[in-house]
């Protein structure tokens, strides 16, 4: 089993009023990465459907210089109707994300949760929201309902 000390949250950087299904993501990543599959370990569609898109034992392709020791999660969206960065998570995505993070924290209790934009050298808005809410949630310093 590989050592995982980081959980990186991403958005697909697609508009909230246009679908970007797991099949569309797969086609995009296969074109980008030479048919090596989806670079994220998990993908959450707008309806909250969670897909495991890469086995956790495999190194991801989602955060250069961090892939060897991280798990990558991506949610569909991250841009508003005009194409600007925005927190577009649906209630279903929020519920799926918190359930997934709970499970991952059981398996990797020391793993830090960061948004892609929080990684050194990253200059983008991804995941279009502040992941501090999840760090607070798992550290016990917030009310248990706020990160859902």
Q: Any idea which residues carry the catalytic annotation?
A: 10, 40, 116, 124, 126
Chain-centre distance for alpha carbon 25: 13
Rounded distance, CA 25 to CA 41, Å? 12
Residue 80 CB coordination number (10 Å): 15
The H-or-E segment that residue 91 falls in is helix 91-107
Kindly provide the b/e burial profile for residues 8-43, where b requires at least 16 CB atoms within 10 angstroms of the residue's own CB: bbbbbbbbbeeebebeebeeebeeeeeeeebbbbbb
């Amino acid at each position: 089993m590989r050592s995982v000390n980081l959980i990186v949250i991403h958005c697909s950087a697609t508009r909230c009023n246009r679908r970007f299904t797991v099949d569309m993501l797969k086609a995009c990543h296969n074109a980008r990465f030479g048919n090596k599959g989806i670079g994220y370990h998990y993908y959450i569609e707008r309806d909250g459907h969670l897909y495991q898109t890469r086995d956790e034992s495999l190194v991801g392709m989602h955060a250069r210089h961090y892939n060897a020791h991280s798990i990558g999660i991506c949610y569909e969206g991250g841009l508003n109707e005009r194409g600007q960065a925005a927190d577009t998570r649906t209630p279903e995505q929020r519920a799926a994300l918190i359930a997934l993070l709970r499970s991952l924290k059981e398996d990797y209790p020391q793993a830090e949760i960061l948004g892609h934009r929080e990684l050194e050298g990253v200059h983008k808005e991804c995941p279009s929201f502040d992941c501090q809410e999840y760090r607070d949630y798992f550290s016990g310093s917030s009310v248990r309902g706020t990160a859902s």
